[in-house]
Amino acid sequence: MRSPRRQSGLEDSQGERIPRYLRIRKRADFVRLQRGYRGKKTAHFIVIFAASRETQGRLGITVSRRVGCSVERNRVKRRVREFFRLHRNELQPAHDLLVIARTGAEKLSYEDVESELSAALAR
């Protein structure tokens, strides 16, 4: 049985999570995006976007083992997801977005991630 404190914390965060249908989850979708489309490159990210087969745009994140240890890779993914969550309304609605983190992305703060991804998506 979970404690009441833990339960209330989960209820508060449910509304802020990116729902499952807004995430790219299948390997075939990742491969389709990586093979068929060109992306925009920044110093620490490659951003690939293409028309979605779904009605809403989805997010996929790839962080290889070259980026750092698992703690750092997960931190990069959390920061990219937070950017997507906060800026989802500004992005094109029916486009899948794949963000590939490059070496050095683990050293960035959220503000750095936000500025790089905003610049890549604004072009």
> What DSSP element (H or E) covers 98?
strand 95-101
Q: 8 lies in a domain?
A: no
Q: 69 lies in a domain?
A: yes
Question: Which pLDDT belongs to residue 61?
Answer: 93
- ∠ CA 88-90-91, rounded to 5°: 70
pLDDT band at residue 22 under the 50/70/90 scheme: confident
Single-letter amino acid code for the residue at 78 = R
Number of structural domains in the chain? 1
pLDDT > 80? residue 104 = yes
pTM: 0.81
Average pLDDT over residues 60-86: 92
Q: 15 lies in a domain?
A: no
pLDDT > 90? residue 34 = no
Range of the domain at 93: 20-122
Pick 3 or 97 by higher pLDDT: 97
Mean pLDDT taken over the chain: 83
Percent of the residues in the chain that have a pLDDT greater than 70, as a whole number = 87
**Strand 45-51 to strand 95-101: parallel, antiparallel, or no bridges (unpaired)?**
antiparallel
